[in-house]
Structure 1
Amino acid sequence: MRHRGTRTTSLAAALVLTAGVGACGEVGAADDGDKTVKVGLSAAFSGKSAYYGQDAKKGVELAIENLSKTMPEVSFELVTADDECSPQGGASAFRKLADVDGVDAILGSPCSSGTLGGMPTLARSKTPALTFASTNAKISEQSGVGGNPYMWRMNIDDSIMGRYWTKYIADAGKKRAAIVAANNDFGRGAADLYTKLLPEAGVELVATEYYDLGGSDFRAQLTKVRAAQADAFITFAEAQDCAQMLRQMKEMGMTVAMYGRGGCATAEGIRLTGDPALAEGVQEASYWTATESQRELLDAYQAKHGEPVPPYNAALAYYGMITLAEAVKQGGPDKAGILDGLKKVDLDTGIGPITFDQNNQAHPNMFILKIENGKINVLDTIDTSK
C-alpha cells in the first residue's frame, strides 16, 4: 500500500490551481473574452435513487458558485437529466443532454448503470463525459485505449479499491467471507471482481447474495450469511440499505464483522440506523470521506445547506465540476477543447491527485474507515496514483 504524504493540498489550493488561466489570463490557447460552458448533469432524480441526483446537483452548484469568483472569465451553466439509475435511462439522459440541451460536457452518472448506458451515445455527438462516482470496473476498461475516448472517470473504481480492501480483510485474519450486494451494475460488478480477488488474497468466498436497492427486509440474505459461517460480511450497499441490514442483524443476534463498500461508513448511514451503536465497528473502503484537507468544502457546504458533512455524491460532484473547469482552462470551452483539456489535467485536490491514465481513469485517494463511538475515523489514506 502507498500512503499519502504531503502532496495533497487544501481545497483552496485546488481552486487556485483551477482558477489559474495562464500568463495572459486566457482560457485555452486560442480563446479570449468571456465564455459560457453548458454542463449537463446526468443522475437519478426520480425513484428510490433520487437522492443521487439531488445530492450531486448541490455539489455541482456549489462548485459553480465558487468558480464564478475564482474563474470569472468563464460562465458555467448547469442543466440536468434524469437517468433513473438504469442503463436505458442513462442512454436517454446522455442523448437529451447532448442533442436537446446542447451541452459542452456531461457530468455523471453517480450510478454505474446510468454511466454504462450513456457511454455508447457519446461518439455520435463527440461530447466528453466525466463520471465522479460510478465504480463499475467496465467503465474504465471500455474508455480511452479501451475504445471510448469520450468517457472519463475522476473517482477510483472497484477494481482499484478491491485490490487493497481484500488484502486488508485478509490481513485482519478473516478466512471466510460472504457478500451481500445490490442487484445492479454497482453491486454485481463489484461482487464479480471480489469473486476473484478474495481467493487471491487468501480468503474463501462462502456465499454471495443480492438484493433490490431500497429493500426493507434482508433477513433471507442475512440468514444465508450466518449459515455459511462467514467471519467477514462484505456489503456493496448504499447508506439506507446498510442501516436496515444493521438493524436486522441486531434483531437476529448476528455479530459477524461488516466490511462495507458503498455508503455504510457515512454520516447518512449512521443517522439512518436510528441508533449509532448499531454501526459500531463497521469498516469500509471508500473513495470519499470528510477530512481536514477539505475544510473549505465542508465549511462552504455547511454555510449553504446547514449540514456539517455533505453526502458523498455532493462532495464528489463538487470535485468533478472542479476537474471539468480545469479541463476548460487547459483546452478551451467547447467540446473539442474540453476533451483535449481532460488529457492535460493535473490537479492536487483535497481528495488527492487528479490526472488521467490511458484508460481515462484518475487515481485519487482511497480511505479505509471505521465507525467508533458514533464517529467515522480514518484508519488509512492510500495514494492510488503511484
Structure 2
Amino acid sequence: MKFDVIVLGGGIVGVCVASHLQRRGRAVALVDLKAPGNETSFGNAGLIQREGVYPYAFPRGFGELLRYARNTSLDVRYHANAMLELAPFLWKYWRNSHPARHAAIARSYATLIEHCVTEHRALALAANASNLLRASGWIRVYRTGPKLDEAVRLAEQWRREFGVEFDALDHERLRAAEPDLEPSLLGAVRYSGAESVSDPGALVTAYAGYFERLGGRIFVGDATKLQQGWSVETQEGRIEAATVVVAMGPWSDRLTSRLGYRLPLAVKRGYHMHYEAKSQARLNHPVLDAEKGYLIAPMARGIRLTTGVELAHCDAPKTPVQLNAVEPIARQLFPLGARLDSEPWMGRRPCTPDMLPIIGPAMRHQGLWFAFGHAHHGLTLGAVTGRLVAEMITGEETVVDPSPFRVDRF
C-alpha cells in the first residue's frame, strides 16, 4: 500500500498534521498503536493558551530550587533514580530559563501561540467539532496580594508585547464569575483570549474523523519500527511513502535515536482524576490554583483535577503522590464529590531544553520530518503545527517562520 505521506503518531499534533496534508491533496496514512487521542492528548487540562507566549521556565531562584530539592512541593516532584539521566537536560533547561534567554525564546514561541486559537477554530469548524471549544477563557486564582499583583503585572507586560487579552478580577468580580469557589480567595487573572476544550480526547477523535472523511487512512501499527525507504508494518499490511512525519510525542526519540539523531528530549509526567460536583455546584472556567500548583476544569465527564510536573523515567510505574496531595486542597477550593475514575490517569509531556518544539525536516534523511517536543502546549499548538508542517512539505508560504524550531539548532 503506497501513500504520499505517513504520519507517525495519533495524538493532537499527528492528527492535525495528517488532516492538513490530506486537505492539500496528499494521500496520507496515520499510524499509531492505539486509536487517535488515547495517550498524552487525552489527559491534558483542555486549554488552548493564547496567553502562553512564555513557555514554562525552570525555576532559578535559590529559594525555589531549595524547595523543589526537598521533593515535597505540590507542583513538582521527582524520582531520585531518574535524576542522573535527566541532569544534562535539566542543566540546559536551567540555562535557557535565564530571563534574557527566556525572553528571546518567547519572541519565537509567540509566533506559533498567536495562531493557536484561530487555527483550532478553523479545524474544529471543518471537523464539525466547534461545540467542544469554549471561548470563555480560563482563570488563575490567588490567595495573597503580592502574588496577585505580580500576575497582573506579567499579564500587562504580555498584553503590551504580544497582544494577550486578560481581565484582572478583584474578590467581587471573581465571586460573580465563579460563585462556588472558595470565598476567601483574594482575586484572579482571567485570560479572556484563550479557549478551553470540554473533552480533549473527543476533539482529537473529531479531527481524526475529519481526516478520514477527506480520504485519509488510519492504521494500527508500531511506529517505532519504521524502516528506511519509509515503510512500516501495520495490522493491515506494510505501507510505504516517500515522506514520513514523526509526531510521536514523548516516544519520538525512540525512533529518531535509532536513525542517528541525538535530540535532548525529556518527559514531564502528569496525572488527572475526574470528580462529581457536590450540591449542584458549577465550575464555569478552568481554574488554576496558582499558589498551590494544580488545576480544575469542567469536562464532559466531570470536574477534572490535573497535577503539576513529575520528573521520572518515561515508562516508570505510576506514582500519583501529587494528585493525592492536592486533592484535599482542591476540595476546599471547589466542592468536589466522589471520584469518577477507577484509577488516576497518567500522561507524558515531551520537552526540549530550550522550550521550543522541533518542527521541520531532518538533517540527514530525505523525506523525513519532525513535529514533536511541544511540552505543556501540545493541545494549544497542535492545529497551527499541523498547518505549518503541511505548508513546509507542500512548498507553500508558511504561516510563521519555521527556522526557530529547526532540528539542527541542537
> TM class, shorter-chain normalised?
under 0.3
TM-score relative to the length of structure 2: 0.23
